């Protein structure tokens, strides 16, 4: 058994933003060597965007376990759910299995993977494979730079207070505004007040078949229905006009 | 000739942080289809780290042009150098060639690629392929998260005034400090004053054979000789003790 036990390991594999070929070569190769793969399911039972991104790289022998993972761990029920998943993974790794966990975008940035990491980092052997974050993909796709030379960048969630977003937009040449969903009107107003509407792009579902892109934010209706994965990048040193 | 002309395109391909298998699958495939590849050379004549990262993906027919590109475009001589390279690329693309330009890390973040983009964006067909930035690789490699949920992140250059770095460290849970080279003592003092030395990792040459990693910054000598590619990640919500 000792030989088998040495092989056991947990791999957190970042999928990148959505297109299957925007995963890393390392991630794609590792997916083909897994015994078990955990894939996070969205709200609908059994649906996993992360799994659909990586499916082409899996071997025929891998056992896929699609699970609904809580998006936070801030109450007893959610803590118990993460603890249970962590224990299940420990058990499999101790049996000598190569276990994968796929994470959208980059596993270390706004990812629930960290709830597993904090439970498992001293218990089992772990390898994390980084990925392209959504904003990096948006910058390339929209041909809209993030920052240069002595400039700086802030990555914010639009769930933050407007005053905090305004400070970031004043302090940094580039600001990435994640989670625009449901908050577009307020963000558009803020960008207007700061005269930044001509220095921003809005993109949803970057690199996926249903990608949406807007380069003239002043022309976008306040009550537009945006998809869940919507992000605005502001760069006051770059103009869309 | 019209068929050939349609094929001509410029591809900005991000190499990722250094390990060849941390490039995207899309980037690796595209490298194999290039007719010409421009690779930036470092200070020493003919040396190109970016080229060494991608060499295994190139076809035998590709023509490699290693060039020294100025790190800025802020004086007449440097502007002229970028203009000349841009015109050379336009000429090749108009001849129907698939021309590549490799960029370390991510092409849209702290990359001289943007000096070409601003000259060429309305002249020729361009595709940009995103890459893993150094700090994303460091977070995965050090198993040290960037940010979560409602938190925010700032990416700063240590060439900024200390007061600006201090503000970022106060305003954001996570701060990435790039270009630590030559400034470690001042940064260490600042992190000490803000009681953040136990909430930081320092890594150089991430994912490369000569990778260096420090998790206890308080124990690192003030006058350590750091490599050029050195970065500190601070996350006040995560401890290294």
What burial class does residue B220 get, using C-beta atoms within 10 Å of its C-beta: 0-12 exposed, 13-18 middle, 19+ buried? middle
d(CA A27, CA A102) in angstroms, rounded, equals 10
Written as six digits, the tokens of B191 are 């992190």
List the beta bridge partners of residue B195: none
Residue of B21, B130, B171 lying closest to A136 (CB–CB):
B130
Closest among B67, B4, B6, B72 to B37, alpha carbons compared: B67
> pLDDT at position A14, please?
98
Q: Scan for tokens 């109450």, then name that residue.
A: A75
Say how far apart CA B95 and CA A189 lie, in whole Å. 46
Rounded to a whole number of angstroms, the CA Rg of chain A reads 20
Q: Cα–Cα distance between B106 and B130 in angstroms, integer? A: 6
Which among B90, B125, B129 is positioned nearest to B113, based on CA atoms? B129
Q: What is the ipTM of this complex?
A: 0.94
Give pLDDT tens digits for A151-172.
999 999 999 999 999 999 999 9
User: With an 8 Å Cβ cutoff, are A109 and B154 in contact?
Assistant: no
For the stretch A166-169, contacts whose Cβ atoms lie closer than 8 Å and that sit 24 or more positions apart, written own/partner, are A166/A190, A166/A194, A167/B171, A168/B152, A168/B171, A169/A194, A169/A196, A169/A234, A169/A236
Sheet of B126-129, strands arranged across? B63-67, B36-40, B98-103, B9-14, B126-129
Å from A113 to nearest chain B CA?
10
- With a CB cutoff of 8 Å and minimum separation 6, the contacts of B9 are B93, B98, B99, B124, B125, B126, B127
The pLDDT of residue A71 is above 90: no
Which of B 183-202 lie inside 8 A of A, CB atoms?
none
* Measured distance CA(A41)–CA(B148) in Å, rounded: 19
pLDDT of A228 reads 86
Say whether pLDDT at B123 is over 90. yes
Give the gap in angstroms from C-alpha A47 to the nearest C-alpha of chain B: 22
Per DSSP, the three-state class of B179 is coil
Q: Helix or strand or coil: residue A112?
A: coil
For testing contact with chain B, the best of A24, A121, A125, A168 (most B CBs within 10 A) = A24
pLDDT in tens, B230-240: 999 999 999 99
Instruction: Tell me: pLDDT of A60 over 70.
Output: yes
Model confidence at B2, pLDDT cuts 50, 70, 90, reads: very low
Between CA B185 and CA B169 the distance in angstroms is 17
| Structural domains of chain A sorted by starting position, each given as residue range(s) with its CATH number in brackets | 2-129 (3.40.1010.10), 134-235 (3.30.950.10)
> Which of A114, A149, A164 faces B148 most closely, judged by CB atoms?
A114
Average pLDDT over residues B85-114: 96
Q: What is the pLDDT of residues A195-207, one digit of tens each?
A: 999 999 999 999 9
Those of residues 142-161 in B touching chain A at CB distance below 8 A are: 143-157, 159-160
For chain B, the residue count is 241
Can you tell me which residue has the tokens 């600006």?
Answer: B164
Contact (CB, 8 A) for B157 and B134: no
What is residue A241's predicted lDDT score, i.e. its pLDDT? 83
Task: Report the candidate in A68, A54, A132 with the shortest Cα–Cα distance to residue A100.
Answer: A54
Quick count: other Cβ atoms within 10 Å of Cβ B45?
Answer: 8
Give B99-134 as a DSSP string. Answer: EEEEESB-TTBS-THHHHHHHHTTTS-EEEE----H
Q: DSSP readout, A15-68? A: -BSS-GGGSBHHHHHHHTT-SEEEEE--SSTT--HHHHHHGGG--TT-EEEEE-
Least confident range of A33-42, A67-76, A219-228, B58-67: A67-76
- What's the pLDDT at A4? 47
Counting residues of chain A whose pLDDT is more than 70, the rounded percentage is 96
Mean residue pLDDT of chain A comes to 93
pLDDT, tens digit (0-9, with 9 covering 90-100), for B32-52: 999 999 998 876 566 799 999
Query: In this predicted model, which residue has the larger pLDDT, B93 or B79?
Result: B93
Pairwise CB contact (< 8 Å): A143 & B121: yes
3-state secondary structure of B227: coil
- Inform me whether the C-beta atom of residue A109 falls under 8 Å from chain B C-beta atoms: yes
Helix A162-171 / helix B162-171 crossing angle, nearest 10 deg: 160
**Alpha-helical runs (H) found in B143-204:** 162-171, 184-193
Lowest mean pLDDT among A28-42, A58-72, A153-167, B125-139: A58-72
pLDDT band at B78 (very low <50, low <70, confident <90, very high): confident
Find chain A residues with C-beta within 8 A of B73's C-beta: none
pLDDT tens digits along B186-215: 999 999 999 999 999 999 999 999 999 999
| pLDDT beyond 50 at B4 | no
pLDDT greater than 70 at residue A1 = no
Report pLDDT for A69: 82
**A25·B22 Cβ contact <8 A:** yes
Percent of chain A with pLDDT over 90: 85
* Cβ density class A146-178: b for 16+ within 10 Å, e for less: bbbeebbbbbbbbebeeeebebbbebbbbbbbb
Cα–Cα distance for residue pair A189/A162, rounded to 1 Å: 10
Find which of A54, A132, A151 to mutate to test the B interface (most B CBs within 10 Å of its CB).
Answer: A132
Confidence of residue A62 (pLDDT cuts 50, 70, 90): very high
> How far is Cα of residue A228 from the mean position of the Cα atoms in its chain?
12
Please determine, for residue A113, whether its predicted confidence score (pLDDT) is greater than 90.
yes
Under the banding of pLDDT at 50, 70 and 90, the label for residue B3 is very low
Report pLDDT digits (tens) over B5-20.
Answer: 578 999 999 999 999 9
């Amino acid at each position: 058994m000792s030989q088998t036990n040495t092989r056991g390991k947990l791999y957190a594999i970042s999928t990148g933003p959505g297109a299957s070929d925007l995963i890393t070569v390392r991630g794609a190769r590792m997916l083909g060597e897994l015994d078990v793969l955990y894939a996070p399911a969205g709200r609908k039972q059994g649906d996993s965007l992360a799994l659909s991104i990586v499916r082409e790289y899996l071997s025929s022998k891998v056992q896929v376990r699609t699970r609904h993972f809580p998006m936070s761990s801030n109450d007893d029920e959610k803590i118990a759910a993460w603890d249970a998943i962590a224990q299940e993974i420990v058990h499999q790794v101790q049996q000598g299995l190569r276990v994968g966990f796929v994470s959208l975008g980059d596993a270390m940035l706004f990812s629930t993977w960290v709830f597993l990491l904090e439970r498992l980092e001293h218990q089992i052997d772990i390898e994390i494979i980084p990925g392209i974050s959504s904003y990096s993909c948006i910058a390339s796709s929209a041909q809209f730079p993030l920052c240069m030379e002595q400039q700086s960048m802030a990555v914010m969630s639009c769930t933050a207070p407007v005053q905090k977003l305004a400070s970031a937009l004043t302090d940094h040449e580039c600001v990435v505004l994640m989670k625009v969903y449901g908050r577009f009107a307020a963000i558009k107003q803020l960008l207007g007040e700061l005269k930044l509407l001509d220095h921003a792009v809005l993109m949803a579902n970057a690199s996926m078949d249903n990608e949406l892109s807007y380069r003239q934010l002043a022309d976008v209706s306040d009550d537009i229905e945006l998809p869940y994965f919507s992000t605005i990048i502001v760069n006051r040193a770059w103009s869309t006009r």
